[in-house]
Amino acid sequence: MKSELELRGVQQRFHARGVADGYVTAVDDVSFKLLASPPQIVSLVGQSGSGKSTIARNVLGLQKPTAGSVLYGGKDIFKLSRSEYDAYRRDVQPVFQDPYAIFNPFYRVDRVLWKAVKKFKLASTREAGLKLIEESLQAVRLEPENVLGRYPHQLSGGQRQRIMLARVHMLRPSFIIADEPVSMLDAQVRKHFLDILLDFQREHGMTTLFITHDLSTVYYLGGEVMVITKGQIVERGPVATVMHEPTHPYTKLLLDSIPSPDPDQRWTTRIQVDELERLDDNTPADTTKPEAPVL
């Protein structure tokens, strides 16, 4: 029963100025279930402003939903006992978008890994701890001698993001909540990162909730996909089904908007600006997402 993470009727509203009733609804009655076994990869795809990152914050317990509940092992995560909460925090691990922001620039990157060893008592001796760290770095295809002892600014974005994956690898959580983890990485590094997530699923039985705005990444990962727009999940199913036989108009619009690399198949219709403007209105501050994928 522990191995289940469920959102039940989650709603998240935020105060906002200049809106009719003084609120925007970022997440609107969202329900879904993630199972640890069998391990799965579930992608949540949507535009910026669709509410997907808010869902990540809800699942991680960083934001208490205004209505509905997030259940871990059948219990509301905001009502767990101290020890249950610790178990949940260990079992559900985040990977965030910005590989630059998660590190304290004054500390060597080792600290992130040692903190995990100590906090979760993964090893009793320094040697055992170091061995664990080295193993995990190798699991994410990093050479320990190339990254240990370095400061965050001495590593590339891809290396930093993989260090966070090494940390996840050490903890062996049942669930990884990955919020746009590859949007700041370029194509080659991106593929690397996704392959590691797939490894984690196959070899270590981890279930990932993969949040992205990018359809080709979803396609690469496979598994299940949920399409979210304006805070509501409008379509869900196996990736191949949703991409080849989309049923919701929004999913169709998304798929149709991928520029086809064929000059004989140019768009013949125009897309309405105002239907997007409504999407835009939800996103006053846009997060920077460089590098569209070329997987």
Report the interface residues with other proteins, using CB under 8 A: 47-49, 186-187, 191, 213, 215-216, 219-220, 222, 243-244, 253-255, 257-267, 270-271, 273, 276, 279-280, 283-286, 288-295
**Shortest Cβ distance from residue 82 to other proteins (Å)?**
40
**Shortest Cβ distance from residue 232 to other proteins (Å)?**
17
| 14 strand-pairing partners | 24
**Cβ proximity to other proteins, 128 vs 240, nearer residue:** 240
**Shortest Cβ distance from residue 257 to other proteins (Å)?**
4
**Cβ proximity to other proteins, 105 vs 259, nearer residue:** 259
Among 160, 128, 115, residue whose Cα is nearest residue 142: 160
Among 221, 223, 200, residue whose Cα is nearest residue 295: 221
Residues 176-201 as b/e (b if ≥16 CB within 10 A, e otherwise) read bbbbbbbbbbeeebbbbbbebbbbbb
**Shortest Cβ distance from residue 265 to other proteins (Å)?**
8
**Cβ proximity to other proteins, 60 vs 242, nearer residue:** 242
**Cβ proximity to other proteins, 174 vs 183, nearer residue:** 183
Among 225, 230, 228, 229, residue whose Cα is nearest residue 242: 225
**Shortest Cβ distance from residue 182 to other proteins (Å)?**
13
Phi-psi region of 241 (alpha: psi -120 to 50; beta: other; left: phi over 0): alpha
Retrieve residue 200's tokens: 């984690």
Between CA 93 and CA 84 the distance in angstroms is: 15
Between CA 253 and CA 10 the distance in angstroms is: 26
Among 156, 258, 167, residue whose Cα is nearest residue 214: 258
**Cβ proximity to other proteins, 6 vs 291, nearer residue:** 291
**Cβ proximity to other proteins, 16 vs 123, nearer residue:** 16
- Side-chain half-sphere of 43: how many Cα atoms within 13 Å? 29
Which residue do the tokens 């965050």 mark?
A: 152
**Shortest Cβ distance from residue 152 to other proteins (Å)?**
21
Retrieve residue 101's tokens: 């922001």
**Cβ proximity to other proteins, 213 vs 236, nearer residue:** 213
Tally Cβ neighbours within 10 Å of residue 86: 13
First CA to last CA across the chain, in angstroms? 37
**Cβ proximity to other proteins, 83 vs 272, nearer residue:** 272
**Shortest Cβ distance from residue 9 to other proteins (Å)?**
27
Give me the amino acid identity at 160.
R
**Shortest Cβ distance from residue 150 to other proteins (Å)?**
21
According to DSSP, residue 154 is labeled: G
